[in-house]
Structure 1
Amino acid sequence: MVISPISSIGAGHAIAYTAAMADLLSPLEWFFVVLLAVVPLLGLGFHLWIMLLGHGKASPQAEDKS
């Protein structure tokens, strides 16, 4: 059975693993990592909001024709 490096750290070493991750990138780089993760999620939420709630309304052009 192959043991992954993360599981070999163990639950007691979670703080050491977090410190190692913090040293991986600078705070400015972490800001951009989080930004690049949040922006697409916000875009997805916005598009779903428009698709699910925006198309239920009749357009002004459809009201004029009837």
Structure 2
Amino acid sequence: MQISLDQDRCVASGQCVMAAPEVFDQREEDGIAILLTTTPSPDDTDNVRHATAVCPALAIQLTE
């Protein structure tokens, strides 16, 4: 699985960070999401899928 994040679409809701804190974080200055890794471990796959589903801006894309 590969993850991409469109920071221009991100609305800084933090849903991805709550769903998968091992993969996503937020910038201090504006709350925009950042990726900690583009290839999550197999243990994090379900959390990343959940983060993608709850992103209100549809800013997260997954490639299997």
TM over 0.5: no
Q: Which range, TM-score by smaller chain?
A: under 0.3
More relative contact order, 1 or 2 (CA 8 Å, 6+ apart): 2
- TM-score, normalised on structure 1? 0.26
Structure with the bigger percentage of helix: 1
Instruction: Give the TM-score of the pair, scaled to structure 2.
Output: 0.26
Between Structure 1 and Structure 2, which shows a larger proportion of strand residues?
2
Q: Which has the larger radius of gyration?
A: 1
